[in-house]
């Protein structure tokens, strides 16, 4: 029974990736997206996910912010941005990634973090707003 559940779960995750690709999200190879993850479908072409990315339960990726209409004239900021998640990144459960953010290669976004600025390569971020906790060397390399 467990094997059946595992196979069904894997199939559902593959379908989710195909669904987001169909909508226009750019998704690389070997990407894991949890069934409870939400990716901006208002501007799906503004979300780029590279190879070997792991996005866990409840993560939210948003490439737009229409609250700017209340604070600035439309000419200065139309509320659209883009989100880029580089290779081998890990997005923890319940993390929120806002517009105009790039998550660097091999980086980890801790569970529940709110990412409002770029995350450097080979780093771990956590908190609201997310702050860098640590830099590390990826496996197989030395600094």
What are the beta bridge partners of residue 131?
126
CB 7 within 8 A of CB 31: no
Domains of the chain: 2-135 (2.160.10.10)
CA-to-CA distance for 133 and 124, rounded, in angstroms? 6
Q: What is the pLDDT of residue 71?
A: 58
* pLDDT < 70: residue spans in the chain: 66-78, 140-143
Q: What is the 3-state secondary structure (H, E, C) of 82-142?
A: CEEECCCCEECCCCEECCCEEECCCCEECCCCEECCCECCCEEEEECCEEEEEECCCCCCC
Q: What is the pLDDT of residue 72?
A: 55
Q: What is the pLDDT of residue 57?
A: 94
For CA atoms 136, 134, 125, 10, give the dihedral sign: positive
Catalytic residue (one of 35, 64, 66, 71): 66
Active site annotation includes 66: yes
CA-to-CA distance for 43 and 79, rounded, in angstroms? 11
CA-to-CA distance for 143 and 135, rounded, in angstroms? 11
Greatest CA separation for the chain: 57
The full length of the chain comes to 143
Helix (H) or strand (E) holding 2: helix 2-23
Q: What is the pLDDT of residue 45?
A: 87
């Amino acid at each position: 029974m467990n094997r059946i559940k595992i196979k069904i779960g894997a199939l559902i995750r593959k379908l989710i990736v195909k669904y987001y690709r169909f909508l226009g999200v750019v998704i690389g190879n070997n990407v894991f997206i949890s069934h409870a993850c939400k990716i901006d479908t208002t501007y799906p072409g503004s979300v780029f996910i590279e190879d070997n990315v792991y996005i866990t339960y409840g993560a939210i990726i948003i490439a737009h912010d229409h609250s700017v209409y209340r604070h600035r004239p439309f000419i200065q900021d139309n509320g659209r941005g883009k989100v880029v998640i580089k290779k081998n990144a890990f997005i923890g459960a319940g993390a929120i990634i806002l517009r105009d953010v790039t998550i660097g290669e091999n980086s980890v976004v801790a569970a529940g973090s709110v990412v409002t600025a770029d995350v450097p390569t080979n780093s771990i971020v956590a908190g609201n707003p997310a702050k860098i906790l640590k830099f590390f060397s990826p496996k197989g390399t030395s600094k």
